[in-house]
Structure 1
Amino acid sequence: MNFIVFLLLVLFPFNVFAACSSPSGQASQTRYDFTANKLYYCNDADWVEMGGGGGGGAGVPTDVKLTTSSNNGNFGGFAGMKSFIEANGCAGYQICSADALFKHLENGGVNLSERGWVTPDAVHSRGSCAGWTSSAGGGNYGSYWLGGGYSGVYNVTCSISMKVACCKFD
């Protein structure tokens, strides 16, 4: 078994630039802890529990909106995605997960006016355009929230340009 893992690492090398550890993760990435039954996001240094105080429950954003500009799936990685969000009307926000948007609607929140990129989560894993580094068509896909009069997460080729769904958790 160890030989197979070693062989895979040698044949398919990859770089890991983890901003969070235990487990490793990138800025704006989310993860679900099935033992604690909690959703977390990486804030560049640590895993932070989503939701909490005054917002109506864990994982429920206190505000949801779209960036002011659009981009295809290549943001230059997770850190680039965070920079794009900060520079385009969502300072203090993070990229929404589909789960956070569903919880926002379940708690009386208003749906987004149009579609926007979202990060995959433990429940709605669709893709992140190869870690937000791909604008290729074909086999690369990213997750997006439909918005408008509809709700739901879908996947689309990374060459499509759209805004980013931003969530704020106080």
Structure 2
Amino acid sequence: MLDDLDEGFAELYGAYRGLVFSTALRLSGRWADAEDLTAEAFLRAYRALAGYDRDRVAALQPRAWLMTILMNVWRNCARTRSRKPPPDLREEPVDTVDPGEGVEAAAVRHETGDELAELLGRLPDEQRAAVVLRHVVDLPVSEIAEVLKIPQGTVKSHVSRGLKRLRALGGAR
């Protein structure tokens, strides 16, 4: 990215699009919302990079930086949604198909993914974000604290409480 922003950004996108999308999907719980969040996060990332000097680009930690942008986009969307109720859309979730995957394995994956998304959706936003960043994205606590702009102890607390609540919700089924 230091020499050619467009080519470097294409490589950044290729390396992190799956991670950003899967995080967005776990945060939002809806495929279409995750696509929108991912697109907006990468658009903001590109615009930001265009204004950064060489030293800032060289010092960039892309994973944490992209997660910070995604979290900001997600919070902004949630804030906007809370002010304006969404229309009644009865959308069926779209699922990707792996041609090498057997029918039984696909059914189990789909069921597990839907159940996890539903359970994550029942967590408070701060716990959901911390659990997703820790156990889906696999960020260390220090990076999660940086992304969420909260102390590391608070991150640990949100993750612990979120996992405890997920266990309770999963057991109540």
Q: Which has the larger radius of gyration?
A: 2
Q: Which structure is higher in helix share?
A: 2
TM-score (norm 2): 0.29
